[in-house]
Amino acid sequence: MIKGSAEQQYKRIWEYCVEIKKTHEGSTMEVMFTPFRGPGGNPKFMRLYCCLEPLKKGFKDDLRPLIALDECHLKGTYRGQLLTAIAADPNNGWWPIAWAVVEREATEQWAWFLKYLNDDLEIENQFHYTFISDQQKGLDRALAEVLPNCEHRYCVQHMYRNFKKKYPGLPLKDKLWSIANSTTEELYNKAMAELKDFDNEAYQWVKNAPAPRHWCKAFFPTHTKSDMLVNNLCESFNAHILEARDQPIITMLEMIREYLMDRIRKRKSAMERYDSPTGPLINEIIENRVKIASQWMPIWNTMHGYQVKGPRGAQFAVDMEKKNCSCKLWEGSGIPCCHAIAAILLRNEDPRQYLNVCYSRGLFLKLYENVLQLISGEDHWPPSTMPELEPPVSVTQPGRPRKARRRDTTEGKNHGRRLRRRVIIHCRKCGEAGHNVATCKQPTNEQGQQDTSTEPVTQQPNARRRRQTVSTTNNVHF
């Protein structure tokens, strides 16, 4: 009664879209519905695509050409999927671009979503853009159909989950991530050779996996200025809208819009109070690399070059004028590597001065000037001439939709611990710790009476005292 009828909200979809377009000029609100069914019948809702003008303007003007794609379940009265496209802001946080409500996740739905996204972002040079997602077959085919020349990365975390089903263990996990984090082809070949010597079957699995250009840093293009290996941008967005995904369609869309409107305000205010030329997440990366740089010794060639030596005979060449290092991490991510920072500190300079402009504080503040506008209540929405829509046809979703994402055991050092492990169980019969009544090996009352009939009378008080003690220790300790 508080949220309104889910069926009635589908009938007001057109009015909501008109109100959004009126308050956010240039926004795209596209609705797809089934054909009319007989005379006097209304069409049924199928899909809705939403891309607000301030969000897409911020991406086109200020952000790197990196887009993360993902989906999540809707858990309201009428189930479906929410497709999302998320970008990375100058602090490596997430910036939403577009989202869509569809009936299921398949190639047809992804292709429909990507066609509208392509038109909104005006993608002409496809080679300039990079998409990152899970290894989903439907999305692969849709990208190959709509944007065949864009780079497509796979989330290494999802790739590892499939890998560990056959090859578990921390050593193999470290070797797989070592391969993914290789920044040059030489380091990639060396890491692959180490995996082959350690476990040939695991090596063959990686060899038969998608081409390394999809998931290894050594093969990523440098113009993107991002060495991202995981799809955390979409995962974080989906987690923040978890409550909205339970609501009817218009309520859900409004909760997402209101949350983004408030989030843009908070992040802009926080950055205005933050006294640094770049954001806190980028500062944390720089500080961690400064600590590692103490292990490297640079040698200056009196021009712009530095030869940097480190542990176990490692050596790299740094060019301060071109802002690159032979490890290729600086050139690929736009953030100085630890070898370059060692040379920068030798020059008594601040490593933040050598960051790419895509991480600057000024660009962050400019991006978050793209605020969302206010809209009026549904009583003030303009009428629409389109026919009223009926709720969508019920579609059985693949898998079991969960309220919260089931986290992997590898996510976090202390994840997976349960309170049960800290409980000391005491038996109700004998009072001893470490077992319960079902597994207790002490004699029952009948057996005790038979035993005590043959025992001396002097031992009976001790038995009664023991039973009295048991009754006072029947509790659970933490």
| For the chain, domain boundaries | 1-155+230-278+361-414, 279-354, 419-472
What is the chain's length? Answer: 478
- pLDDT tier for residue 449 given thresholds of 50, 70 and 90: low
pLDDT tens digits, 280-327: 999 999 999 999 999 999 999 988 899 999 998 899 999 999 999 999
Residue 314, both tokens: 């490692």
Backbone torsions φ then ψ of 53, nearest 5 degrees? -55, -45
List, in sequence order, every residue forming a beta bridge with 82; answer none if it has no partner.
72, 101
Q: What angle do CA 150, 183, 189 make, to 5 degrees?
A: 105
Q: Is the dihedral of CA 99, 105, 109, 115 positive or negative?
A: positive
* pLDDT value for 478: 32
* pLDDT value for 416: 46
Distance between CA atoms of residues 17 and 24, nearest Å:
10
* pLDDT value for 369: 95
* pLDDT value for 75: 86
CB 90 within 8 A of CB 112: no
- pLDDT tier for residue 474 given thresholds of 50, 70 and 90: very low
* pLDDT value for 78: 86
Distance between CA atoms of residues 411 and 409, nearest Å:
6
- pLDDT tier for residue 462 given thresholds of 50, 70 and 90: very low
State yes or no: pLDDT of 451 exceeds 70.
no
Q: Which residue has the higher pLDDT, 38 or 127?
A: 127
State yes or no: pLDDT of 39 exceeds 70.
no
pLDDT tens digits, 191-242: 999 999 999 999 999 999 999 999 999 999 999 999 999 999 999 999 999 9
- Which helix H or strand E contains 343, and what residues bound it? helix 338-346
Distance between CA atoms of residues 350 and 354, nearest Å:
8
Mean pLDDT of the chain: 87
- pLDDT tier for residue 72 given thresholds of 50, 70 and 90: very high
CB 238 within 8 A of CB 202: no
* Range list of β-strands (E), 16-165: 28-33, 45-51, 66-74, 80-88, 94-102, 130-133, 151-154
State yes or no: pLDDT of 259 exceeds 50.
yes
Share of the chain above pLDDT 90, in %: 69
Residue 57, both tokens: 């303007």
State yes or no: pLDDT of 348 exceeds 90.
yes
List, in sequence order, every residue forming a beta bridge with 45; answer none if it has no partner.
33
Specify whether the backbone of 298 is left (phi greater than 0), alpha (psi in -120 to 50) or beta: beta
Distance between CA atoms of residues 389 and 15, nearest Å:
11
* Range list of β-strands (E), 208-304: 297-300
* pLDDT value for 410: 58
* pLDDT value for 453: 46
pLDDT tens digits, 352-411: 999 999 999 999 999 999 999 999 988 899 988 888 888 887 666 566 656 566 666 555
Average of pLDDT values for 260-286? 95
State yes or no: pLDDT of 447 exceeds 60.
no
Distance between CA atoms of residues 24 and 257, nearest Å:
12
State yes or no: pLDDT of 61 exceeds 60.
yes
Read off the amino acid at residue 423.
Answer: V
* pLDDT value for 409: 56
| 66-74: strand order across its sheet | 28-33, 45-51, 94-102, 80-88, 66-74, 130-133, 151-154
Using DSSP bridges, classify how beta strands 94-102 and 315-319 pair: parallel, antiparallel or unpaired.
unpaired
Q: Which residues contact 124 (CB under 8 A, 6 or more apart)?
A: none
- DSSP letters of 250-310? HHHHHHHHHHHHHHHHHHHHHHHH--SSB-HHHHHHHHHHHHHHTT-EEEE-SSSEEEEE-
CB 82 within 8 A of CB 72: yes
* pLDDT value for 399: 63
Residue 374, both tokens: 């206010």
pLDDT tens digits, 139-183: 999 999 999 999 999 999 999 999 999 999 999 999 999 999 999
Share of the chain above pLDDT 70, in %: 85
